[in-house]
């Protein structure tokens, strides 16, 4: 449930509601909407829900108490109708513009990263990607350069101005990765690694959470809920394909997830057609499709010499292919900007979400 405070509610009244929630053994999360404060009540409420709702609605400064129908709460549109917009250095994610995350699958050498970083920055990428700690299916495959790669990523950020994103695989790597990287990525294999989700929930960096290759959209949003409820509201979702019976592609890209997620959650949505398809020539059409259905951005793998790459050689774009992709994607974003925003998402007349089943004082 969430508590909608009156427009005129004082600080003391807001504090009073929060301490009442704590005294009930629940956790309050407030969200300052454009016009008023809304406080989510999170925890195992059980059979006392109705009673708690009516007690909260009687407190001073409370306008309305509304249940949240979804199992994910803080990430739901019901609680937070406005889109979450994430700013990191000069990049803005989720504001209606096109976020382009590009760079190699793995950081292999300093030269390879700098050449890629310069080229993607010049072509219009907004965020630089590069794997330092790599989750590889085989223990005999290249596992990444580790901290050496983090240093190169930080150097590439300093020379291009682009924020950098890299994957974290274990809770004990979170601090070192957050020291070098601007955005922390959770890979598909770790989407339900709850100790890792809690650990990135405590870090002062945005987190990009990739969809588990066997996860439903609800499981994915519950994983995002772990991060947000641990204290980090800056979560980006990344659809990267799910495993189906199809074998021509590495995974099956679920583009329906994009408008669905915009309906269910306020978090920004990125699509990764590189890992979804596993094939270089399929990256461009699916990137265009992703932007056309309303993705906030795209993540693609780019390498100066993809055939010689130490990981994911078949799916990385050449520098030229990335430049061409950019020139085609920008007009698609311009044509489709705002097209997919469902009017029911605009919220109720209270300006806070619209389930309407709330307990009102009036």
Cα dihedral 99/104/106/110 (nearest 10): -110
Name which of ligand PEP, Mn ion, none residue 167 binds, using a CB cut-off of 5 to 8 Å depending on partner kind.
ligand PEP
Residue number, 187 or 273, with CB nearest to ligand PEP:
187
Task: State the minimum distance, in angstroms, from the CB of residue 167 to ligand PEP.
Answer: 6
Name which of Mn ion, ligand PEP, none residue 240 binds, using a CB cut-off of 5 to 8 Å depending on partner kind.
ligand PEP
d(CA 344, CA 350): 13
Name which of ligand PEP, Mn ion, none residue 233 binds, using a CB cut-off of 5 to 8 Å depending on partner kind.
none
Closest residue to ligand PEP in the complex (CB): 187
Coil, helix or strand for 357? coil
Residue number, 188 or 232, with CB nearest to ligand PEP:
188
Choices 147-155, 249-257, 281-289, 311-319; region in contact with Mn ion by CB under 5 A? 311-319
Query: Both tokens of residue 240?
Result: 């990267």
Per rule CB under 5 A, count of chain residues that contact Mn ion: 2
> Using an 8 Å Cβ cutoff, are 110 and 295 in contact?
no
Interaction of residue 312 with Mn ion, rule CB under 5 A: yes
Task: State the minimum distance, in angstroms, from the CB of residue 298 to ligand PEP.
Answer: 12
Task: State the minimum distance, in angstroms, from the CB of residue 105 to ligand PEP.
Answer: 6
Interaction of residue 105 with Mn ion, rule CB under 5 A: yes
Name which of ligand PEP, Mn ion, none residue 239 binds, using a CB cut-off of 5 to 8 Å depending on partner kind.
none
Residue number, 64 or 277, with CB nearest to ligand PEP:
277
The pairing of beta strand 207-210 with beta strand 183-186 = parallel
Per-residue burial over 293-318, b = 16 or more CB atoms within 10 Å of its CB, e = otherwise: bbbbbbbbbbbbebeebbbbeebbbb
d(CA 130, CA 108): 9
Burial (0-12, 13-18, 19+ Cβ within 10 Å), 58: exposed
Task: State the minimum distance, in angstroms, from the CB of residue 213 to ligand PEP.
Answer: 7
């Amino acid at each position: 449930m969430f508590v909608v405070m009156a427009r005129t509610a004082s600080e003391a009244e807001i504090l009073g509601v929060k301490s009442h929630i704590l005294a009930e053994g629940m956790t309050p999360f407030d969200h300052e909407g454009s016009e008023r404060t809304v406080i989510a009540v999170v925890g195992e409420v059980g059979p006392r829900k109705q009673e708690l709702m009516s007690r909260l609605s009687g407190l001073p400064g409370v306008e309305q108490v509304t249940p949240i129908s979804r199992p994910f709460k803080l990430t739901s549109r019901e609680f937070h109708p406005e889109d979450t917009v994430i700013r990191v250095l000069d990049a803005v994610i989720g504001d209606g513009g096109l976020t382009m995350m590009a760079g190699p699958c793995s950081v292999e050498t300093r030269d390879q990263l700098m050449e890629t970083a310069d080229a993607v920055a010049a072509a219009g990428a907004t965020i630089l990607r590069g794997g330092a700690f790599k989750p590889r299916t085989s223990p005999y495959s290249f596992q990444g350069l580790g901290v050496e790669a983090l240093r190169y990523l930080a150097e590439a950020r300093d020379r291009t101005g682009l924020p950098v994103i890299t994957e974290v695989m274990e809770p004990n790597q979170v601090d070192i990765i957050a020291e070098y990287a601007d955005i922390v990525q959770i890979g598909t294999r770790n989407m339900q690694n709850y100790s890792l989700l809690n650990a990135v929930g405590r870090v002062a960096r945005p987190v990009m959470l990739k969809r588990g290759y066997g996860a439903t959209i609800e499981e994915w949003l519950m994983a995002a809920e772990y991060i947000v409820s641990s204290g980090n509201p800056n979560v980006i979702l990344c659809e990267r394909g799910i495993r189906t019976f199809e074998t021509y592609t590495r995974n099956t890209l679920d583009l329906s997830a994009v408008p669905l997620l915009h309906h269910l959650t306020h978090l920004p949505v990125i699509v990764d057609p590189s890992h979804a398809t596993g094939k270089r020539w399929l990256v461009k059409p699916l990137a265009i499709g992703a932007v056309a259905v309303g993705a906030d951005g795209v993540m693609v793998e780019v390498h100066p010499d993809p055939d010689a790459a130490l990981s994911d050689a078949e799916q990385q774009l050449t520098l030229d292919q990335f430049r061409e992709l950019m020139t085609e994607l920008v007009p698609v974003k311009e044509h489709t900007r705002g097209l997919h925003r469902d009017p029911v998402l605009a919220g109720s007349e209270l300006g806070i979400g619209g389930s309407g089943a709330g307990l009102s004082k009036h």
